[in-house]
């Protein structure tokens, strides 16, 4: 039995208390410039600390995009470690967007890097890719169960190129994306109030009624803001599964920096728009 409350239960509570919004920490070079910061480690640190200060006490989830930190090498990763620690201390759940995926034995090491409680990058959940076969994720699933953390598995991604892999139809007639969703539903069976194994499903994808999105787990929905989707699209895209959607906005919030108040207001506006959209369904 896990000594920790499972991620799904912690996420459900955070969504109920704060609304379901996830704000991304994506320090694009262009955003650093717009904020008047240098494209260096000091600029990276100022950027990520400002985002955490602005929103970690009010949104359910923060999602640092690891790539933008890794670009600065070990000093960038040190900034990422600090951001994770400070965001969690301020009450937000942290989903590390690192999209890891490899053969099972290597996957075990990726899982330790992000989901083991003694790791400097310990996060509440990790994004992972199932495209080496869903079974290759097993070590991460097992460690997540042990540590009360979660996974978000790429199922139907927000980018237009994703369809060539995810909509491909298998010999049994089921699409690859639908197969990933079915694996997650099995993972979360019987869990209450919400399973800890979520799917990434883009908010940009239009009508998804041919997919069974009811995986009894969270659906991380990137694509709102810079990629063109809006909170008002959520009920149409997700149908009855909208209650489990964690909508992600990164640039749509970050473009309002560097002032803390302006970032906060932007996050609050998205939270309210999501609330209205979901309530009106």
Check binding of 227 to ligand LLZGTKA7 (CB under 6 A).
yes
- Cβ atoms of 217 and 197 within 8 Å: the answer is yes
Stretch that binds ligand LLZGTKA7, among 8-16, 154-162, 184-192, 268-276 (CB under 6 A): 154-162
Query: Tokens representing 117?
Result: 């409680």
Compute the Cα dihedral for 154, 100, 92, 162 and give only its sign: negative
Buried b (16+ CB within 10 A) or exposed e, 264-281: bebbbebbebbeebbeee
- Give the shortest CB-255-to-ligand LLZGTKA7 separation in angstroms: 9
Binding test (CB under 6 A) with ligand LLZGTKA7, winner from 66, 158, 175, 196: 158
Q: Given the complex with ligand LLZGTKA7, which of 76 and 225 has the nearer CB atom?
A: 225
Binding test (CB under 6 A) with ligand LLZGTKA7, winner from 20, 198, 202, 258: 202
Stretch that binds ligand LLZGTKA7, among 2-10, 74-82, 186-194, 225-233 (CB under 6 A): 225-233
- Give the shortest CB-200-to-ligand LLZGTKA7 separation in angstroms: 5
Catalytic residue among 63, 82, 99, 117: 99
Q: What is the rounded distance in angstroms from the CA atom of residue 167 to the CA atom of residue 128?
A: 18
Check binding of 26 to ligand LLZGTKA7 (CB under 6 A).
yes
Residues 6 or more apart whose Cβ sits within 8 Å of residue 243: 278
Distances (CA, A) of 127 to 36, 96, 122, 123, 178: 30, 6, 13, 11, 18
DSSP state of 248: E
99 is catalytic: yes
Binding test (CB under 6 A) with ligand LLZGTKA7, winner from 130, 222, 257, 258: 222
Q: What is the rounded distance in angstroms from the CA atom of residue 49 to the CA atom of residue 226?
A: 22
Interface of this chain with ligand LLZGTKA7, residues 233 to 252, rule: CB under 6 A: 248-252
User: With contacts defined by CB under 6 A, how many residues of the chain interact with ligand LLZGTKA7?
Assistant: 19
Q: What is the rounded distance in angstroms from the CA atom of residue 259 to the CA atom of residue 239?
A: 36
Q: What is the rounded distance in angstroms from the CA atom of residue 207 to the CA atom of residue 51?
A: 32
Which parts of this chain interact with ligand LLZGTKA7 (CB under 6 A)? 24, 26, 65, 97, 157-159, 200, 202, 222-223, 225-227, 248-252
Catalytic residues: 99
């Amino acid at each position: 039995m896990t000594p920790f409350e499972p991620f799904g239960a912690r996420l459900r509570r955070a969504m109920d208390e704060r609304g379901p919004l996830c704000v991304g920490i994506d320090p694009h070079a262009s955003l650093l410039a717009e904020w008047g910061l240098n494209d260096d480690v000091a600029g990276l640190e100022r950027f990520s600390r400002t985002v955490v200060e602005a929103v970690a006490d009010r949104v359910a989830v923060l999602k640092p995009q690891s790539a933008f930190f890794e670009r600065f090498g070990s000093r960038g990763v040190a900034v990422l470690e600090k951001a994770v620690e400070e965001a969690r201390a301020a009450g937000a759940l942290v989903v590390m967007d690192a999209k890891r995926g490899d053969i099972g034995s290597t996957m075990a090491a990726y899982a330790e890097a992000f989901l083991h409680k003694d790791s400097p990058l310990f996060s509440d959940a990790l994004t992972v890719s199932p495209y080496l076969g869903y079974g290759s994720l097993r070590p991460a699933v097992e460690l997540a169960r042990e540590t009360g953390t979660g996974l978000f598995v790429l199922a139907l991604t927000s980018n237009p190129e994703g369809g060539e892999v995810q909509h491909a139809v298998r010999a049994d007639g089921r699409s690859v994306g639908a197969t990933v969703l079915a694996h997650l539903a099995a993972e979360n069976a019987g869990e209450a109030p919400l399973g800890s194994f979520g799917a990434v499903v883009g908010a940009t994808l239009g009508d998804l009624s041919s997919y069974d999105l009811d995986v009894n787990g969270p659906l991380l929905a990137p694509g709102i803001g810079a990629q063109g989707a809006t909170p008002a699209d959520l009920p149409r895209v997700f149908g009855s599964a909208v209650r489990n959607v964690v909508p992600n906005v990164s640039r749509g919030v970050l473009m309002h920096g560097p002032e803390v108040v302006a970032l906060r207001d932007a996050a609050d506006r998205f939270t309210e728009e999501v609330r209205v959209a979901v309530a009106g369904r």
